[in-house]
């Protein structure tokens, strides 16, 4: 049975979306649909155009024998800004204020649609950069790391503050918790990161930057390379921050524990 163009377009779209950042040879599709290479090329041109017009991402064709097609998810500045502005509203809800001036985020970090958006926004920031792994610290950083990892199509690794037998041998570092100035310890399973890996660090919240700084030290221990740091939300910090270069999607600018007002603005992702 001959497969129609319409069916190819639907299934190719499905395939490309679920295999981002993966070079797929055109021969794969030729075989999958038992269609001519010229037809597949035409299909890809239509998908490329539609993905660009709808802001889904970039489809690139790599010519040559080792060539193929790569889909890179992207999100436009405008779409990202609209999503983050809506998030600012949600983060400002008064009942999010916890004792000590903390902001409750756990519900947001468990919403699949929101995580997909956040993953796409963060991944868009690193388009064109070589990244081998996403790193975060347990527990609340994990959903962000996984969301980003889905769009970059690279593994994520979880640094832990507690030792677990199920991790095998680990490498640990001590770090200064920025906000409390206490010395703490974090560790990562030895086999989870290869020497020379290019690592993107993500986390849910940054105050003094101590945790992120700890992950930086851990990356050095592994003789790996830090590519960038992006946090879901940062809060204004009165002391000297331990990390200078980072990207934030949201910034908790002010917390008034008396009136329970939380002021949230877009983070430095949108600064330039």
The site string for its own copies over 16-35 (x = CB under 8 A, - otherwise) reads -xxx----------------
Residues near 70 by beta carbon (within 8 Å), at least 6 away in sequence? 21, 22, 23, 24, 59, 60, 62
**Three state DSSP letters for 212-264:** HHHHHHHHHHCCCEEEEEEEEEEECCCCCCCCCCCEEEEEEEEEECCCCEEEE
Both tokens of residue 145? 């790391």
Interface with its own copies by CB under 8 A: which range of 23-31, 78-86, 147-155, 217-225? 147-155
To its own copies, the closest distance from the beta carbon of 139 in angstroms equals: 4
Using CB under 8 A, which of 2, 6, 34, 89 touches its own copies?
6
Neighbours of 117 (CB within 10 A): 21
Using CB under 8 A, which of 63, 99, 244, 258 touches its own copies?
99
Rounded distance between C-alpha atoms, residue 210 and residue 175, angstroms: 7
Nearer to its own copies, 17 or 36 (CB): 17
Using CB under 8 A, which of 7, 93, 181, 256 touches its own copies?
7
To its own copies, the closest distance from the beta carbon of 265 in angstroms equals: 21
To its own copies, the closest distance from the beta carbon of 21 in angstroms equals: 10
Q: Which of 16, 46, 42 is nearest to 28 (CA)?
A: 16
Q: Which of 70, 79, 77 is nearest to 125 (CA)?
A: 77
Helix pair angle (77-91, 112-125), 10° resolution: 130
The site string for its own copies over 185-214 (x = CB under 8 A, - otherwise) reads ----x-xx------------x---------
Rounded distance between C-alpha atoms, residue 114 and residue 259, angstroms: 28
Nearer to its own copies, 84 or 114 (CB): 114
To its own copies, the closest distance from the beta carbon of 191 in angstroms equals: 7
To its own copies, the closest distance from the beta carbon of 84 in angstroms equals: 18
Nearer to its own copies, 200 or 271 (CB): 200
Buried b (16+ CB within 10 A) or exposed e, 87-115: bbeebbeeebbeeeeebebeebbeeeebb
Nearer to its own copies, 53 or 259 (CB): 53
To its own copies, the closest distance from the beta carbon of 141 in angstroms equals: 10
Return residues touching its own copies (CB under 8 A).
5-7, 9-11, 13-14, 17-19, 46-47, 49-51, 53-54, 56, 98-100, 102-107, 110-113, 115-116, 138-140, 142-143, 146-147, 149-150, 153-158, 160, 162, 165-168, 189, 191-192, 205
């Amino acid at each position: 049975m001959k497969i129609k163009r319409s069916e190819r377009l639907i299934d190719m779209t499905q395939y490309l979306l679920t295999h981002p950042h993966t070079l797929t040879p055109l021969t794969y599709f030729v075989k999958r649909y038992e269609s001519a290479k010229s037809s597949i090329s035409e299909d890809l041109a239509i998908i490329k155009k539609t993905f660009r017009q709808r802001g889904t991402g970039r489809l690139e064709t790599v010519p040559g024998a080792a060539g193929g097609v790569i889909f890179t998810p992207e999100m436009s500045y405008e779409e990202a800004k609209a999503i983050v502005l809506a998030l600012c509203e949600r983060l400002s809800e008064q009942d999010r204020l916890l004792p000590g001036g903390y902001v409750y985020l756990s519900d947001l970090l468990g919403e699949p649609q929101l995580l997909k958006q956040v993953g796409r926004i963060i991944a868009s920031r690193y388009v064109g950069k070589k990244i081998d792994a996403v790193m975060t610290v347990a527990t609340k950083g994990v959903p962000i790391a996984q969301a980003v990892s889905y769009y970059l199509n690279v593994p994520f690794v979880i640094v832990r503050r507690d030792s677990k037998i199920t991790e095998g041998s680990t490498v640990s570092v001590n770090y200064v918790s920025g906000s409390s100035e206490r010395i703490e310890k974090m560790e990562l399973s030895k086999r989870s990161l290869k020497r020379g890996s290019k690592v993107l660090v993500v986390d849910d919240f940054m105050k003094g930057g101590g945790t992120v700084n700890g992950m930086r030290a851990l990356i050095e221990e592994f003789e790996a390379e830090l590519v960038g740091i992006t946090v879901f939300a940062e809060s204004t910090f009165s002391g000297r921050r331990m990390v200078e270069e980072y990207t934030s999607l949201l910034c908790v600018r002010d917390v008034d524990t008396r009136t329970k007002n939380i002021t949230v603005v877009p983070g430095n992702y949108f600064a330039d």
